Chain A
Amino acid sequence: MGQVVQAEDWVYKYADILFNYTLARVQDRGVAEDLVQDTFLSAWRAKDSYNADASEKTWLFAICKNKIIDHFRKKSSSKEQYAAFDSANNFFDENEHWTKQDQPNDWGISSVSIVENKEFYKILDYCKKKLQEMQHNVFVMKYIEDLDAEEICKVLNISSSNYWVIIHRAKLQLRKCIEQNWLNS
């Protein structure tokens, strides 16, 4: 009986924070739910080998982080990676100048006031989730997980030049999406 109570305690204590952590790193809610469930399952199976060197919370987050990276790895091997080269948007014309519709416009507000604006974060989150999947995953690994380029290439099994193109496209897309939503809000 003791075990049953502990399972509930665990889930009610950590499920929401793990869910938010995962939601910030994957594009799909259903995927986030599955990853949280997997995290609990792995932790539960390993709970006898868990020693109290790290806090329970730290331990769960470490497992969760591994699940997320693993999810990216699987996605990268199961998909044609080159879909990362979204063809719909070129940003530059044949002379490699910015096209009129893609060029960066003045956001008309200082950086300081932007980062104090809640709306900015909503738009940022929305635009991040709208990135093409490979771009999104590379972007998250780099800027949220803070992995370096070599590690990311290794996990996703992509070349260095592929990595640079993907991360750069992600930034171009993200910047444009934020501008469109920011200036129209």
Chain B
Amino acid sequence: MRLLNISCKKATYLVSKKEQKRINLFDRIKLRIHLSICVLCRRFEKQSNLIIKNVTLTSADEKLSDEAKDRIIESLRNVP
């Protein structure tokens, strides 16, 4: 059983590997066992997956200032 025991530090690292599908079978089993008994690491997995899934949706709606636009136009005009 000692062989299958992993720490929270190791478990969260494996959560990151698993999320990118870079985890081997043995690690997967160890992680599953750890998550079944550790609510904190289960939360970490759930919350970080939520963040990753929604990170592309944070679209800002900002304008480039008129000065910056004028500067760009000016620089294009100076291209030989």
Contact = CB atoms under 8 A, between A and B. Distances in A.
Interface residues of B, number: 39
A69 interface: no
A77 interface: no
B79 A124 contact: no
A111 B22 CA distance: 25
Interface residues of A, number: 52
B9 A92 contact: yes
Say what secondary structure dominates the interface of chain A: helix
B58 to A, nearest CB: 4
A107 B50 CA distance: 12
Contacts of A40: 72, 75-76
Nearest to B79: A44
Interface of B: 7-10, 12-13, 16-17, 20, 22, 40, 43-44, 46-48, 50-52, 54-64, 68-69, 71-73, 75-77, 79
